[in-house]
Structures are given as C-alpha cells and as structure tokens.
Structure 1
Amino acid sequence: MAKNADEKKPASTSKLMYVLMFLMLGLIAINTWLLWDTRANTAVTANPEGTAEVEEKEPYEPVFLTIKPFTVNLENDQFGPRLLYAGLTLELPNDDVRALLDKNMPQVRNRLLVLLSGKNAEQIAQSEGKQLLAQSIANTLSEPYNGDESIEINKVLFTEFIVQ
C-alpha cells in the first residue's frame, strides 16, 4: 500500500505543475495585453485629492497651405544661368496662420523669390542643402507681415523641385 501512495504523489504534482504553468501563461498574456493596450492616447493625471483623472489627448490635425509652383533664376555658376522650379506646401499650427499667409500671399511669394534667387544650384541640389533651404524658408516666412507679430511654421515641404 505504501507503493500506491508513492505512485499517486507524482501524479498530483504533475497536475499542480500544469495548473501553475497555465496560470503563468495567463499572467504573461494579461501583462502583454496591458503593455500593448490600444488606449495609449489617454493620459492619467492625479488631482490634489489623490484620485486619478483620465484626459483624452486631442489628435494633432495639421493645417496645410499650398503655394503655387514658381520659377526663379539662381546664381550663375560654371554652367551658366540656372533655373529652379519649385512648389511648396507649408505645415502650419492653425487656420489663423493660414488665413494670414493667404491674405499676404504676394509678400510670401516675393520673400521666396528674393531668398531663392540668391541661392547656388550646387547648394540646393544636395539633400542637406534642401533641408537648410527649408529651414531658411521657414525663418523668412515667419517674419512679421504688415506689423503683425511673427508666426510659426511647423514644416516646409517641397512638392516640386527641379534645378536646370
């Protein structure tokens, strides 16, 4: 009879091991689900009473302004006169800035033409040159219009860019 008791003991530990493994897999699955939870757009903040409040983050909706393509003469180089044909889209923080730039579009285009006419084709043909050009365009267009305060331009996007 002692042998029968010894034989049953391993069977019960075997069942216990299966139950523990099942529980561990369940805990791992729950932990993974919590880490990859799709509700990542919520922020939890604590108020002075110690309770947590959930605030929904508003998705950022960019505002774009397309500037019609234009052609400008670049500085002469060893190959003679060069041309730039460029189309731009500006990413702006809100519709107020878009309305201001739309209202002042002749000034915007003038600033662009003056800025670009002083550029060298070799400078702006390279990737780094385009990035620097985008930054200088953003800086130039951010300056005040008609006594208004300066504006913010999030990004300058080239939609067309041909150097000849």
Structure 2
Amino acid sequence: MAEKKKDEPQEKPSGGKMKWIILILLLLVLLGGGAGVAYYFLIYKAADQTEVAADAVDAEEGAAPVAATPAQPQGPLIYHELEPFTVNITTPGPVRFLRLQMTVVTRDEGVVAAVDKHMPMIRNDLLALLATQESSVMNTPEGKDALREQLKQTVSGILTRMGAPSGVTDILFTDFVMQ
C-alpha cells in the first residue's frame, strides 16, 4: 500500500513558482511606491518651493504673483516724519489753503535715507499734486484715502526713478487743516 503505482499521476509542487511571482510583483510595487514618494519629496516639492521663491521675486519687481502667499514682515515699521506742507488750493471753492503734515511708513532704513536725499524733488512733486486737489473731495474719508494713495505712489515713483529703494508701505497724515 505504501507503494505508488506508475500509472497514477504524481503530485507536482504547485506553489513554488507562484510564490516567486507574487513575491517579485510585491517587490516591484514597493519599489515603485518608494520611487514615487522620493520623487514627490525631492523633486516636486523642490520645484514648488522654487516657484514660490520666484513668485516672491516677481511681487517685489511689480508683477502679480500667480498664487498669493502671505508676505513675511521684513522688520519693524519705521516712521519718518516730513516737514509740513502748506499749499494754495487752485481749484474753485471755499477752501484756499491746505496745511498738511505727513509721515512716511517703511520697513527699510534705505528708504528713509533716500527720502531725505531726494527731499527737494519729493517736496516739489507733492506740492504740485496737493495744489490740484479739490476741497470737497478731500473733505471725505474716501478722498483722504485716495490722496494718501496718490502721495504714496508719487513718493515711490520718484524713488524708483532715482534708483533708490522705494519700499514705502504707507503715508500717514499727522496734521490736515483746510481753510
């Protein structure tokens, strides 16, 4: 009974080759997944960080970034007070004079030095701008905000033309009298 007959088919070891195929396939899947993770962290993330840095450079140069990221403050605010401006208003109306004192807000000491260096040109352009304002418009909060923005653009434009740092953050009114 212990002997096998020659006519009976012998059992083949059926799991040997199949186990190797499954093991190789699992190994390939793990290697592919590892390569995908490595690509994501090493190449894709590095390219994404390079784009963010390029967008920040474009934003400094005046181009609009594709994805706006919150700007990190570069340093504390610096307030640089300018001498008072007194201007004759040339537009018709009850107001004839404007006395204005303002402060330039920046985060860069270089801007303060540039404003002091180019003060004659800045005063000239600001006086010309202030003289053309309408008193009825300047008497409203929206008009004052628009004037502040015009003054900021004028100062920044002069500093840019002169090749100086032009990082003016804001213009603040410290005295505003119309008579």
TM-score, length-normalised on structure 2? 0.55
Q: State whether structure 2 residue 147 is matched by structure 1 residue 123.
A: no
Q: CA deviation at 1:96?
A: 0.5
Q: CA deviation at 1:92?
A: 1.1
CA RMSD, 1 decimal:
2.3
Q: Any idea what SS the aligned residue of 1:87 has? A: strand
CA contact (8 A) 2:93 2:135 kept: no
* CA distance in structure 2 between the aligned counterparts of 1:122 and 1:135, rounded to whole angstroms: 17
1:25-56 superposed Cα distances (whole Å, 9 cap, x missing partner): xxxxxxxxxxxxxxxxxxxxxx98xxxxxxxx
CA contact (8 A) 2:91 2:132 kept: no
Q: Which residue of 1 aligns with 2:128?
A: 114
Where does structure 2 lack aligned partners over 5 or more consecutive residues? 1-40, 43-71
* CA distance in structure 1 between the aligned counterparts of 2:73 and 2:173, rounded to whole angstroms: 28
Q: Which residue of 2 aligns with 1:97?
A: 111
**Which structure shows the bigger proportion of residues in strand conformation?**
1
TM-score, length-normalised on structure 1? 0.60
- Larger gyration radius, structure 1 or structure 2: 2
Q: Which sits farther off after the overlay, 94-103 or 150-159?
A: 150-159
**Which structure shows the bigger proportion of residues in helix conformation?**
2
Q: How high is the sequence identity, in percent, across the aligned residues?
A: 28
Q: Any idea what SS the aligned residue of 2:163 has? A: coil
Q: Which residue of 2 aligns with 1:68?
A: 83
Q: How many residues align?
A: 109
Q: CA deviation at 1:123?
A: 1.0
Where does structure 1 lack aligned partners over 5 or more consecutive residues? 1-46, 49-56
Q: CA deviation at 1:70?
A: 1.6
Provide closer, same or farther for how the CA distance between residues 61 and 75 of structure 1 changes in structure 2, counting only shifts above 3 A.
same
Q: Any idea what SS the aligned residue of 1:148 has? A: coil
